[in-house]
Amino acid sequence: MYQWDFGILWSYRWLFLNGLGVTVGFTVVIVVLGLVFGLFGAFGSLSRFKAVRLTALTFIEAFRCTPILVQLIWFYYALPILAGVEMTPITASALALSLYGGSFYSEIIRGGIISIDKGQSEAGAALGMTPGQSMRRIVLPQAIKRMIPALMNQSIIQFKNTSLVSVLAVPDLVYQSQVAAHDSYRPLETYTAVAVAYAAILIPLTILARRGEKRLAVSE
Amino acid sequence: MSETSKIEIRALRKSFGSNEVLKNISLDVAKGGVVALIGPSGSGKSTLLRCINLLVVPDGGSVRVGGTSFQFADGSKLPDVKTLAKFRATTGMVFQHFNLFPHMTTLQNVMEGPVTVRRMAKADAEKLARTQLAKVGLAEKADQYPATLSGGQKQRVAIARALAMEPDVMLFDEATSALDPELVGEVLNVIQQLASEGMTMVIVTHEIAFAREVADRLIFMRDGIVVEEGPARQVIDNPREAATRAFLSHFHRTGALPPANATP
C-alpha cells in the first residue's frame, strides 16, 4: 500500500506559488489576447468582402485544426528558422495559445452573432440604423448573452492549456511541479496537488459564471 | 398624380437567383393615401414593400419616397450605408413577426430609434416614446419586456416604435398574419386610426375586409406583376380579372371590420 506524504510538498511551496502565478498570469494574457483575435476572426468571417472572409477562415482553420502542442513547438523552433523571427519561450507560447484560443473564440462569437434572428437587424435597419449601429445596439447585446457559456467553457480550456507551455521550459505550475517531483521523488503527491490547485481555481469561477448567466437571463 | 404622390415606383425589377420576383412594377401612392397590396404568397408583394424602404435592393427601376429618389440598373453602384440609413429613417416599417428588441423594455424599444438614429436627448425621446405608447393604448406597459406581452400588444408596440421616428410613410408587412384571430382587431384599429390621421401607408395584408374598409387603392399581385389595380371597394366588389376573382373567392367578402376589442 502506497504511503501518501503530502507534508513533503510544503518545502516546495514557493516553487508552486511561483508556478501558479505564471499560470494565472498567462491565462489572463491568452484569454484577453485570444478574445481580441476571436473578435477579428468572427467579424472577418462575416465580412462583406471575400478576401477578408478567406483570410479569417484560413486563420481559424489553421489554428483550430492543428494540435496546440505542435503549434507551440512550431512557433518556438520553426519560426526562427523559416522566418528569422526569434521569440522568447514566453512570447512564443503566449502567441501560440492566444491564436489557438482565438480560433475557437472566433467560431463562438460568429455563432452567437448569426444565431440572432435576421428580423432583429432588419428592424434596426428599418429604423434607420447603419449596420454598425444595429450590430452594437441590437445584435451584440443579445448575442453576447448566448456566447457567454461557450466563451467561459473555452476560457477554462485555455487555462488548462497553459500547462503545455512547460514543453518550452516556461516555468508555469506544471513545469515547477516537474522540478519538485524530480527533486522529491514524490510525483504522485506533486501531480495530485497540481490537479487540486487547477480545480480549486476553476470551480469557484464556474459557479460565479453560472450565477452571472442566471442574472442575465432574468433581464429578458 | 406624380406631383402630389408621396411614393413613386417605376419599372421595378428584382430577382433572387433565377427567380424573378418583381417584373416591371410601377406604383404611386398619393400623400395621405392608403394602398393595400394583396395576392397569393410568392406573388412578390412583400418584396415590393421591402423595396420601398430598400431593405431589399432592386435590380432595376426607380424608387422615390418624398424628395429622395434612387435609380437602379445592372452594374449601378448601390447607395452607401449612410445614405440608405438616412433614407430608411423617413419610412416606418411594421413586420409580420414584430421584431421587437427582446433585451429592451417596451419603452426602450420605442426610444431606440429617436436616441440612436435621431440623436435625440434621452428625456425628450422618453417623452415622445410615452406619447406613442399611449397612442397605441399601451402606456401602462412601458416598463415591461416584450416577452410578457400578447401578440397584439407586441405589434402595437412595434407600430409605436416605427411612429417614434415620425416617418412620412408607414409600411405594413402582413402585420396581423402572426396574430391569434381575437387579437387582430386591436392592431387593425390602430392602423385605421393612422389612416384617418392622414398617414401615407402601404399595407400588405390578407385581411380583405380590412383592406376594403381602410385602403383607398388596392393592388392585386400575382407572379411578380400587378394583375389589377383600382379603388379598393371597386376591385374587391367587382374584380375585372379572372385571377383576382379566383383569389378573392377564398375570402368572405363582407365589408365589415373584424370585431375590435382594443383596450386603450
Q: Which residue has the cell 435592393?
A: B57
B99/A119 Cβ within 8 A:
yes
**CB nearest A123 (choices: B81, B99, B116):** B99
pLDDT of B254 above 60: no
Q: Is residue B120 part of a domain?
A: no
Q: Is residue B241 part of a domain?
A: yes
Residues spanned by the domain of B63: 5-96+169-253
Going by DSSP bridges, is the β-strand pair B60-65/B5-16 parallel, antiparallel, or unpaired? antiparallel
Q: What's the pLDDT score for residue B256? A: 47
Q: Which of A47, A30, A148, A42 is nearest to A100 (CA)?
A: A30
Chain B residue numbers with beta carbons less than 8 Å from the beta carbon of A128 are: 85-90, 113, 117-118, 165
Residue of chain B minimizing CA distance to A134 = B116
Q: Which helix (H) or strand (E) holds A121?
A: helix A118-127
Quote the minimal CA–CA distance from B170 to chain A in Å: 11
CATH number of the domain that B50 lies in? 3.40.50.300
Tell me which of B80, B84, B88 to substitute to probe the interface with A (most A C-beta atoms closer than 10 Å). Answer: B88
Q: Is residue B173 part of a domain?
A: yes
CB B59 within 8 A of CB A97: no
Q: Is residue B138 part of a domain?
A: no
Which residues are registered as beta bridge partners of B231? B217
Q: Which distant-in-sequence residues (6+ apart) come within 8 Å of B136 by Cβ?
A: B156, B157, B159, B160, B190, B264
Q: Is residue B118 part of a domain?
A: no
Give the percent of chain A with pLDDT over 90: 69
Q: What's the pLDDT score for residue B252? A: 59
Going by DSSP bridges, is the β-strand pair B91-94/B169-173 parallel, antiparallel, or unpaired? parallel
Q: Is the dihedral of CA A192, A170, A162, A206 positive or negative?
A: positive
A130/B85 Cβ within 8 A:
yes
Q: Is residue B149 part of a domain?
A: no
The verdict on B102 touching A (C-beta cutoff 8 Å) is: yes
Q: At what angle do helices A13-45 and A173-184 cross, to 10 degrees?
A: 150
In this prediction, residues B134-163 reach a mean pLDDT of 95
In this prediction, residues B83-90 reach a mean pLDDT of 94
Q: Which distant-in-sequence residues (6+ apart) come within 8 Å of A63 by Cβ?
A: A71, A99, A100, A102, A103
pTM of the model: 0.85
Residue B62 and residue B64: Cα distance in Å, rounded?
7
Geometric angle at alpha carbon B97, from B43 and B216, rounded to 5°: 55
Q: What's the pLDDT score for residue A84? A: 85
In this prediction, residues A24-42 reach a mean pLDDT of 95
Q: What's the pLDDT score for residue B255? A: 47
Q: What's the pLDDT score for residue B1? A: 45
Quote the minimal CA–CA distance from B238 to chain A in Å: 36
Residue B215 and residue B219: Cα distance in Å, rounded?
10
Residue A127 and residue A124: Cα distance in Å, rounded?
5
B100/A133 Cβ within 8 A:
no
Chain B residue numbers with beta carbons less than 8 Å from the beta carbon of A219 are: 103, 145
Residue B191 and residue B34: Cα distance in Å, rounded?
10
For the stretch B184-233, pLDDT in tens is 999 999 999 999 999 999 999 998 988 998 999 999 999 999 999 999 99
Residue A29 and residue A163: Cα distance in Å, rounded?
14
Position B2 confidence tier, pLDDT thresholds 50, 70, 90: very low
For the stretch A78-122, pLDDT in tens is 888 888 888 899 999 999 999 999 999 999 999 999 999 999 999
Q: Where are the alpha helices (DSSP H) in B197-237?
A: 208-214, 232-237
Residue of chain A minimizing CA distance to B94 = A123
Average pLDDT along chain B: 90
Complete edge-to-edge strand list for the sheet that includes strand B60-65: B19-30, B5-16, B60-65, B68-72
In this prediction, residues A59-81 reach a mean pLDDT of 93
Tell me which of A47, A127, A145, A216 to substitute to probe the interface with B (most B C-beta atoms closer than 10 Å). Answer: A127
Q: Cα-Cα-Cα-Cα dihedral of B142, B145, B151, B152, to 10°?
A: 0
Geometric angle at alpha carbon A219, from B108 and A156, rounded to 5°: 130
Q: Please, how many CA atoms are within 13 Å of residue A66, restricted to the half-sphere of its CB? A: 17
Q: Is residue B31 part of a domain?
A: yes
A129/B117 Cβ within 8 A:
yes
* Interface predicted TM-score (ipTM) of this complex, two decimals: 0.89
Going by DSSP bridges, is the β-strand pair B5-16/B19-30 parallel, antiparallel, or unpaired? antiparallel
The verdict on B103 touching A (C-beta cutoff 8 Å) is: yes
The verdict on A86 touching B (C-beta cutoff 8 Å) is: no
What is chain A's Cα-based Rg?
21
Q: What's the pLDDT score for residue A35? A: 96
Position B3 confidence tier, pLDDT thresholds 50, 70, 90: low
B100/A126 Cβ within 8 A:
no
Q: Which residue has the cell 385581411?
A: B207
Q: Which residue has the higher pLDDT, A186 or A124?
A: A124
Q: What are phi and psi of A184, to 5 degrees?
A: -95, -10
Residue B56's identity, in one-letter code, is V
A141/B85 Cβ within 8 A:
no
Quote the minimal CA–CA distance from B106 to chain A in Å: 12
B145/A220 Cβ within 8 A:
yes
pLDDT of B263 above 70: no
The verdict on B165 touching A (C-beta cutoff 8 Å) is: yes
For the stretch B6-16, pLDDT in tens is 999 999 999 99
Residue of chain B minimizing CA distance to A127 = B89
Question: Could you tell me the domains of chain A?
Answer: 6-217 (1.10.3720.10)
For the stretch A169-186, pLDDT in tens is 888 899 999 898 898 888
Q: Where are the alpha helices (DSSP H) in chain B?
A: 45-52, 81-88, 106-112, 122-135, 151-163, 181-196, 208-214, 232-237, 242-248
Average pLDDT along chain A: 92
Residue A137 and residue A218: Cα distance in Å, rounded?
19
Q: Is residue B215 part of a domain?
A: yes
Give B81-86's long-range contacts (Cβ < 8 A, gap of 24+). B81/A130, B81/A131, B82/A130, B84/A125, B84/B54, B85/A125, B85/A128, B85/A129, B85/A130, B85/A133, B85/B117, B86/A128
Structural domains in chain B (count): 1
pLDDT of B259 above 80: no
In this prediction, residues B114-136 reach a mean pLDDT of 96
